[in-house]
Amino acid sequence: ETGVTQTPRHLVMGMTNKKSLKCEQHLGHNAMYWYKQSAKKPLELMFVYSLEERVENNSVPSRFSPECPNSSHLFLHLHTLQPEDSALYLCASSQEASPRGYTFGSGTRLTVV
Amino acid sequence: KQEVTQIPAALSVPEGENLVLNCSFTDSAIYNLQWFRQDPGKGLTSLLLIQSSQREQTSGRLNASLDKSSGRSTLYIAASQPGDSATYLCAVSLGAYSGAGSYQLTFGKGTKLSVIP
């Protein structure tokens, strides 16, 4: 475990389903992120939360809805996804002005059928 | 817009060889640069973090260098082992924290390394 825990590890969902990805960090960090990793593309930043406020939304479609109820938990709510949304979704956390950088979770492998 | 390029995209070497992975970035005003390792289907493991004021960092058989002015970093792996087989990702962070977007990491596509026994 890296200190950032993501569940579930794998998820298969239909295009009409609603599901949520969960991320929890045990590091006392004050910023959390969602990244998307598709085949043959660099990791793409989706959302940034700093001190529980969303500070970045990188033009992500509204079918992805983040939620950060406190500094330790981050959710990504999914609804009416498309097959091209199939990817590895990675959560990360960091501490402002820390030299230690980011810590990533193990990711959720999402398949949309 | 910051762009990160990693060369080569894939590399295959025999066990025991020393090797160098390259990373270049277009905007030299970075806060730090981080090298990660990713095993197939898994998340990212941080290997080395270099602050913009530093020239290099070392951890075991790994050494990362940073030439901020030329926009380049290298990851040197000594005496490679089959267990080093993975994808290595380079990422840069722009600016110290000053609000929206400052925490963002911009990633390269990675170098897929295979170490042959």
Q: Nearest CB to A90: which of B43, B93, B109?
A: B43
Antiparallel, parallel or unpaired: β A44-50 and A53-57? antiparallel
**Chain A residues with CB-CB distance to B96 below 8 A:** 97
Mean pLDDT of A84-108: 86
Rounded CA gap, A103 and A82, in Å?
29
**Chain B residues with CB-CB distance to A96 below 8 A:** 97, 103
Mean pLDDT of A79-89: 94
CB pairs under 8 A between A and B: 67
Query: What's chain A's average pLDDT?
Result: 89
User: CA-nearest residue of chain A to B38?
Assistant: A106
pLDDT score at B100: 47
**Chain A residues with CB-CB distance to B34 below 8 A:** 101-102
Sign of CA dihedral A81, A8, A44, B9: negative
Q: Range with the lowest mean pLDDT among B34-38, B39-43, B85-89? A: B39-43
Rounded CA gap, B114 and B81, in Å?
9
Mean pLDDT of B99-109: 73
Q: Over the stretch A15-36, which tens digit does the pLDDT of each residue have? A: 888 999 999 999 999 889 999 9
Mean pLDDT of B27-40: 90
pLDDT at A1 over 70: no
Q: B43 to chain A nearest CA, in Å?
A: 4
